[in-house]
């Protein structure tokens, strides 16, 4: 009887555990089938947004990847350098996993980017490299002159990473035995890497296009691009000293975003009155962007499994647990919820996004890959709160794979936690599987731009990360992150001036100007609050006499002592131009000068861009119209 009394509770416990495991397995199997179904829709959703033949990209030029077919409220019918690069990286990874029919899309992207690099724009042109920081273009591959948050310095780094991944594949498989295809792509990559090496230490707008400052995501993307770019350059016998010299400086700067509890999304912010906490999906996407399946759980590299990344992730998730109606009643411990960009967000009402909710799951799946590779989970004071939120009995210490440790229980708990975020995203996905940008914080209905390319791409990358830990799908290739990198004792704000040339062999127009002049117009114009000054003229660089495409001036140096508006434009050497200035009133009225001004841009004496400053006085208004 005593023996039976001992066995009965044990048997009951084992029965309940077995039942729970069976139930969990059914949940996993069901989720897996739903993920596979949605992945088919998501990948096709991306391909539908490729011009000119994609069903959602009517009128888009060949090789162009639009952000969304939405043309109003909001209008996303443009091609963004960042979004296209992140999506193309997904396409490359899927191609590497055996989807050979995707290669034509990769090659189309290569040609489009060779063209895009040569399009002069409000950020600049290729001659100085400045134009590579332009965030978006019309779907017909022409410049967008409207007001926007520019420059955005993550695009060149992300584009380089996508093309480096593909180039390494070509070289490693022997398909490109003589290096011709990779060699043709290299000039595109080289332009982008030169841009990063030259401009990484200057502020720009973040990936949400709202904050002008230094971005954690951008800095991390730049660091990775310089490292893997240097490795590829050596393989192609190219000069890479600029990338090797600046990578340690960027890496040192990257550490300054950590405030002891989480990574602050933006620092050195230029906007006055900026008052966000800095807890932002920007930092979760950073961890994914830095993910290397062969890396250790390194805090300085912000790897997904690192203590810093896990502590940051908990802070980010908790910021959304109570602010959305659809999250009400969801347990605070170990349960997936809807997440957005940042808690203070007001864009479209400040809702959760599909891509940010899926990013949480992807970071966690990536972390499981890394723990399974290094065979150890180390819980420290920084990560303990995260671990106890998913596995309440967790304590500081190391857990080795195998034996009697809690390694398997810990990874299972994280897997279940990650799956909860996927379940959340799927719960609010329409029956047809179409992914918009956002879903309502009140009831989960789809909002904002429909068929968002980045949303679709994020679902595919999440699925790949999950398969890597639940099947024999395989990992993405290592990007060669440094092993135990040493942070420099002193951060140096370095820069190496680059040279930039059209990638003609990859598809850039052979007549694209590589010699340009930076012209700065210093305009003395008295304005009141709400009035803004613009420049336009007879060339596409100056808006082609279209008021809607006039270039906005900067009043950053406007003062009582000098009413200064500044315009910096990069123009082709030798151009003969006519131009004038406009003043736009808050009412929409446009005041303009009657007489045209003229400018003969000097010829370049060498391949480096020249510079010239024009001192001007506002000569108006003498006419007006309503915009």
pLDDT for position 608: 60
Q: Can you tell me the mean pLDDT for 433-450?
A: 97
Are 121 and 251 in a shared domain? yes
Mean pLDDT confidence for 247-274: 95
Based on the domain organization, do 128 and 234 belong to the same domain?
A: yes
* Mean predicted lDDT score pLDDT of the chain: 92
Looking at residue 609, what is its pLDDT? 67
Return the pLDDT at 273: 84
Long-range contacts of 592-596 (CB under 8 A, 24+ apart): 592/620, 592/621, 592/622, 592/623, 592/624, 592/625, 593/618, 593/619, 593/620, 593/621, 593/622, 594/620, 594/622, 594/623, 595/619, 596/537
Flag the least confident range among 245-254, 452-461, 615-624.
615-624
Q: Which percentage of the chain shows pLDDT scores above 90?
A: 79
pLDDT band at 6 (very low <50, low <70, confident <90, very high): low
Burial 555-569 (b: 16+ CB within 10 A, else e): beebeeeebbbbbbb
CA–CA separation, 611 vs 45, rounded Å?
Answer: 45
* 286 vs 188: CA distance, rounded Å: 23
The predicted pLDDT at position 7 comes to 55
Does one domain contain both 616 and 483? Answer: no
Taking a C-beta distance cutoff of 8 angstroms, is the pair 578, 597 a contact? Answer: yes
Angle between helices 81-96 and 2-48 (to 10 degrees): 120
Q: Kindly give, in sequence order, each residue whose CB lies less than 8 Å from that of residue 496, ignoring residues fewer than 6 positions away.
A: 194, 197, 198, 242, 245, 246
Give residue 9's pLDDT. Answer: 58
* 24 is a domain residue: no
Q: Where are the beta strands (DSSP E) in 159-313?
A: 204-205, 212-215, 266-267
Residues 597 and 484 in one domain: no
Q: Do 565 and 485 reside in the same domain of the chain?
A: no
* CATH code at position 525: 2.60.40.10
pTM here is: 0.90
Confirm whether residue 353 is marked as ligand binding: no
Q: Is residue 211 part of a domain?
A: yes
With 80 as the cut, is the pLDDT of residue 177 above it? Answer: no
Question: Domain boundary at 463, 489, 510, which?
Answer: 510
For the segment 606-622, what is each residue's pLDDT rounded down to a tens digit?
556 678 899 999 998 87
pLDDT above 90 for 350: yes
Confidence class of residue 624 from pLDDT cuts 50, 70 and 90?
low
| Phi, then psi, of 389 in degrees rounded to 5 | -75, -25
pLDDT in tens, 60-92: 998 899 999 999 999 999 999 999 999 999 999
Helix (H, G, I), strand (E, B) or coil at 526: coil
Whether residue 592 lies inside any domain: the answer is: yes
Mean pLDDT, rounded, for 242-260: 97
User: Same structural domain for residues 485 and 543?
Assistant: no
Assess if residue 585 is contained within a domain.
Answer: yes
Does residue 545 sit within a domain? yes
CA distances from 418 to 164, 246, 424, 469 (A): 29, 36, 10, 12
Q: What is the mean pLDDT of residues 591-615?
A: 83
Annotated active-site residue 209? The verdict is yes
Q: Give the Cα separation of 152 and 210 in Å (integer).
A: 10
CATH for 484? 1.50.10.10
Give the least confident one: 37-46, 104-113, 568-577.
Answer: 568-577
pLDDT band at 195 (very low <50, low <70, confident <90, very high): very high
User: Residue 144: which domain range?
Assistant: 80-260+477-510
What mean pLDDT is predicted for residues 97-114? 95
Within this chain, do residues 494 and 552 fall inside the same structural domain, yes or no?
A: no
Instruction: Return the pLDDT at 20.
Output: 53
CA 354/CA 435 separation, integer angstroms = 7
- Tens of pLDDT, residue by residue over 521-555, are 999 999 999 999 999 999 888 989 999 889 999 99
Please name which of 431, 484, 577, 453 lies closest in space to residue 105, comparing C-alpha atoms. Answer: 453
Distance from C-alpha of 133 to C-alpha of 200, rounded to nearest angstrom: 11
Residue 238: per-residue pLDDT? 96
φ and ψ at 242, to 5 degrees? -65, -40
623 confidence band (pLDDT: 50, 70, 90) = low
Residues 92 and 143 in one domain: yes
**CB-based contact 57:64 (threshold 8 Å):** yes
Is residue 531 part of the annotated active site? The answer reads: no
Contact 250, 153 (CB under 8 A): no
Does the residue 559 lie in any domain? yes
Q: Is residue 96 assigned to a domain? A: yes
Residues 504 and 558 occupy one common structural domain = no
Q: What is the pLDDT of residues 20-41, one digit of tens each?
A: 566 556 667 789 999 999 999 9
Q: Do 569 and 595 belong together in one domain? A: yes
Q: How far apart are CA 62 and CA 111, in angstroms?
A: 9
At residue 627 the predicted structure's pLDDT band, cuts being 50, 70 and 90, is low
The pLDDT, as a whole number, for residue 13 is 53
Q: Do the domain assignments include residue 54?
A: no
497 and 552 share one domain: no
Catalytic residue among 176, 209, 380, 412: 209
Q: Does one domain contain both 173 and 144? A: yes
Candidate list 181, 206, 366, 419, residue with the active-site label: 206
pLDDT, tens only, 272-306: 888 899 999 999 999 999 999 999 999 999 999 99
CA 520 to chain centre: 30
Total structural domains within the chain: 2
């Amino acid at each position: 009887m005593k023996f039976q009394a001992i066995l009965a509770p044990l048997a009951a416990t084992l029965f309940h555990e077995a039942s729970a495991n069976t139930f969990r397995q059914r949940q996993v199997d069901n989720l897996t089938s739903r993920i596979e179904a949605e992945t088919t829709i998501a990948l096709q959703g991306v391909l539908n947004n490729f011009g000119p033949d994609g069903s959602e990209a009517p009128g888009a030029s060949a090789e162009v990847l639009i952000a969304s077919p939405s043309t109003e409220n909001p209008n996303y019918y443009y091609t963004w350098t960042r979004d296209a690069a992140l999506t193309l990286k997904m396409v490359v990874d899927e191609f590497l996993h055996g989807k050979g029919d995707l290669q034509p899309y990769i090659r189309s992207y290569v040609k489009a980017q060779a063209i895009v690099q040569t399009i002069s724009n409000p950020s600049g042109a290729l001659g100085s490299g400045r134009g590579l920081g332009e965030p978006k273009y019309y779907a017909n591959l022409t410049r967008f002159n409207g007001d926007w948050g520019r420059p955005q310095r993550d695009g060149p780094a992300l584009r380089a990473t996508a093309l480096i991944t593909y180039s390494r594949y070509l070289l490693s498989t022997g398909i490109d035995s003589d290096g011709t295809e990779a060699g043709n792509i290299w000039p595109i990559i080289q332009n982008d890497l030169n841009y990063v090496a030259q401009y990484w230490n200057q502020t720009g707008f973040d990936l949400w296009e709202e904050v002008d400052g230094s971005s954690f995501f951008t800095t991390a993307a730049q660091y990775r691009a310089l490292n893997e770019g240097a490795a590829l350059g050596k393989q192609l016998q190219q000069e890479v000293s600029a990338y090797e010299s600046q990578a340690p400086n960027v890496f040192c700067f990257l550490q300054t975003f950590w405030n002891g509890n989480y990574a602050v999304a933006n620092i050195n912010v230029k906007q006055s009155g900026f008052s966000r906490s800095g807890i932002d999906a920007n930092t979760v996407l950073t961890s994914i962007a830095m993910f290397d399946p062969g890396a250790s759980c390194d805090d300085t590299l912000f790897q997904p499994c690192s203590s810093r990344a896990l502590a940051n992730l908990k802070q980010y998730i908790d910021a959304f647990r109570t602010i959305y109606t659809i999250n009400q009643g969801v347990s605070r411990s170990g349960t997936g919820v809807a997440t957005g960009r940042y808690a203070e967000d007001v864009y479209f009402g400040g809702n959760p996004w599909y891509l940010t909710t899926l990013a949480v799951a992807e970071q966690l799946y990536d972390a499981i890959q890394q723990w399974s590779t290094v065979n150890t989970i180390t819980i420290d004071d920084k990560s303990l709160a995260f671990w106890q939120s998913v596995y309440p009995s967790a304590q500081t210490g190391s857990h080795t794979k195998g034996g009697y440790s809690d390694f398997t229980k810990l990874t299972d708990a994280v897997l279940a936690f990650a799956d909860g975020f996927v379940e959340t995203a799927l719960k609010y996905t329409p029956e047809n599987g179409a992914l918009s940008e956002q879903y309502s914080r009140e009831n989960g209905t789809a909002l904002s731009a429909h068929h968002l390319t980045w949303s679709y791409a994020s679902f595919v990358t999440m699925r790949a990360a999950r398969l890597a830990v639940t099947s024999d799908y395989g990992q993405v290739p290592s990007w060669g992150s440094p092993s135990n990198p040493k942070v420099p004792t002193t951060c140096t704000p370095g820069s190496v001036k680059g040279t930039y040339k059209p990638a003609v062999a990859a598809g850039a127009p052979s007549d694209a100007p590589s010699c340009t002049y930076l012209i700065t117009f210093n305009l003395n114009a008295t304005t009141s609050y709400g009035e803004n000054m613009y420049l336009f003229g007879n060339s596409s660089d100056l808006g082609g006499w279209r008021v809607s495409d006039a270039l906005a001036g900067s009043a950053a140096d406007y003062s009582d002592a000098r009413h200064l508006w500044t315009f910096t434009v990069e123009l082709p050497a030798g151009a003969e131009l006519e131009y004038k200035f406009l003043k736009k009133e808050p009412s929409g009225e446009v005041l303009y000068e009657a007489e045209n001004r003229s400018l003969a841009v000097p010829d370049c004496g060498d391949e480096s861009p020249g510079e010239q400053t024009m001192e001007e006085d506002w000569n108006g208004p003498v006419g007006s119209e309503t915009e």
